[in-house]
Amino acid sequence: MNNKSYKVAVVGIGAVGREMVRLLLQRDFPLEELKILARRARTEKIDGREYEVVPASADAFDEIDIAFFAGTEGARGASRLYGWEAVRRGCVVIDNGDDFRMDQRVPLVIPEINADALKAHHGFIANPNCTTIVALMALAPLHRAAGIRRIVAATYQAVSGSGSAAVRELEDECRAWCNSSVHEPEVYPHPIAFNVIPRIGGEVDSGMTSEELKLRRETHKILDDTSIRVSATCVRVPVFNGHSEALNVKFIKPLTPDQARDILAQAPGVKVLDELSSESYPTPLACSGKESVLVGRIRRDDTVANGLNLFVCGDNLWKGAALNAVQIGEYLVRENLVRVP
């Protein structure tokens, strides 16, 4: 990184925003100033340190160099209200929300995969969906080696992906079950404790949900290949943190499990855990609080030509959201791209 320090804002101080603040400090981001913006003024404590929260407004972005918008997946608001206005005022926006991911002006970036897209940014950069990030951290290196023709994904997504209220709901339902009582769900349409809910997001065409459609569209944009066929079933599971995905992949060229392991072992941000005899494989607990995406259960799918199965896990609040955004910011600093063209 260069020797310059930057005035930084984090917009939103929910589950993702809190992790953004933690990671900016833990990773020694070159901060001249850290401003936290939200809907209302208050004081928030993070890891024993108190932070003043300032009401978000257009004027609050004056003289800010980089703004991390921490919007919860599917939550409309902050980036729509202030994102492009912040850019107009000279701020580079890195947005965790989904409002502008498919906007042609906006690069959709996983730094380990397509950081070059940042070199032509227009001041507004989007974080992909957490599910897409976790999947593509494993799939992009394999795509470069053998070309992906088709992906079938089944996801097992943690409640932290729905925000802190969903985490509390799972806790409350578990306590109620232990006490032989009932806690009526408020965040989800059905109880999540000891249950799975095969719907994430709103309904779109042909019974698909918005979460499932995101995986398809974002994969096409990030890998710059609309020929890849993607079919997904996205499921909410009673796990506090860490998204898991079972991926069935058909490649254009032959790729053995050993070749896939070798490729992934060298891929940045990926850790291979793949030894059944020693009970070594990815789990949500193993990936929670870790920067790497874990990959295992790599094996042939003998029902199709050039088919492989994989199981991947990633911390949806870190690599799936806050960490990926901070890494984008680090790349902009390192490459001297913190500027609005």
Active-site residue 130, yes or no? Answer: yes
41 and 188 belong to one structural domain: no
pLDDT digits (tens, 9 = 90+) for 245-303: 999 999 999 999 999 999 999 999 999 999 999 999 999 999 999 999 999 999 999 99
99 and 207 belong to one structural domain: no
The 10 Å Cβ neighbour count of residue 203 is 10
Which residue range forms the structural domain that includes residue 59? 6-127+321-334
Count the helix, strand and coil residues of the chain and give each as a percent rounded to the nearest 5.
Answer: 35, 25, 40
297 and 166 belong to one structural domain: yes
* Residue in this structure with the two tokens 């580079």, named with its chain if needed: 92
Percentage, residues of the chain above pLDDT 90: 95
Contact 322, 314 (CB under 8 A): no
Does 1 have pLDDT greater than 60? no
| Rounded alpha-carbon distances, angstroms, from residue 52 to 25, 45, 59 | 16, 9, 17
195 and 227 belong to one structural domain: yes
In this predicted structure, what is the pLDDT of residue 74? 43
Task: Give a yes or no: residue 269 inside a domain.
Answer: yes
Task: Give a yes or no: residue 329 inside a domain.
Answer: yes
327 and 200 belong to one structural domain: no
65 and 184 belong to one structural domain: no
Does 232 have pLDDT greater than 70? yes
Domain count, the chain: 2
171 and 283 belong to one structural domain: yes
Active-site residue 174, yes or no? Answer: no
72: confidence class by pLDDT, cuts 50, 70, 90? low
Residue 31: half-sphere exposure toward Cβ, Cα within 13 Å: 19
Q: Bridge partners of 33?
A: 7
| Structural tokens at position 227 | 């020929």
In this predicted structure, what is the pLDDT of residue 341? 66
As a whole number of angstroms, the distance between CA 230 and CA 249 comes to 9
Task: Give a yes or no: residue 19 inside a domain.
Answer: yes
- Give CA angle at 251 (227, 208), nearest 5°: 50
pLDDT digits (tens, 9 = 90+) for 116-174: 999 999 999 999 999 999 999 999 999 999 999 999 999 999 999 999 999 999 999 99
93 and 190 belong to one structural domain: no
Task: Give a yes or no: residue 1 inside a domain.
Answer: no
- Taking each helix axis from N to C terminus, what angle separates 15-26 and 323-334, rounded to the nearest 10 degrees? 40
Q: What is the dihedral of CA 230, 201, 75, 122, to 10 degrees?
A: 10
CATH, residue 157? 3.30.360.10
Task: Give a yes or no: residue 339 inside a domain.
Answer: no
Catalytic residue selected from 143, 234, 243, 287:
243
DSSP state, residue 127: P
Task: Give a yes or no: residue 263 inside a domain.
Answer: yes
Instruction: Kindly report the average pLDDT of the chain as a whole number.
Output: 96
61 and 166 belong to one structural domain: no
| Helices and strands in the chain, H and E counts | 10, 13
CATH, residue 35? 3.40.50.720
167 and 260 belong to one structural domain: yes
Task: Give a yes or no: residue 267 inside a domain.
Answer: yes
Q: What is the dihedral of CA 174, 179, 182, 185, to 10 degrees?
A: -20
Task: Give a yes or no: residue 341 inside a domain.
Answer: no
105 and 159 belong to one structural domain: no
35 and 149 belong to one structural domain: no
Does 75 have pLDDT greater than 70? no
Catalytic residue selected from 91, 130, 234, 287:
130
| Structural tokens at position 156 | 């097992």
Contact 68, 35 (CB under 8 A): no
As a whole number of angstroms, the distance between CA 194 and CA 183 comes to 13
In this predicted structure, what is the pLDDT of residue 73? 45
As a whole number of angstroms, the distance between CA 134 and CA 160 comes to 15
- Taking each helix axis from N to C terminus, what angle separates 210-223 and 130-146, rounded to the nearest 10 degrees? 40
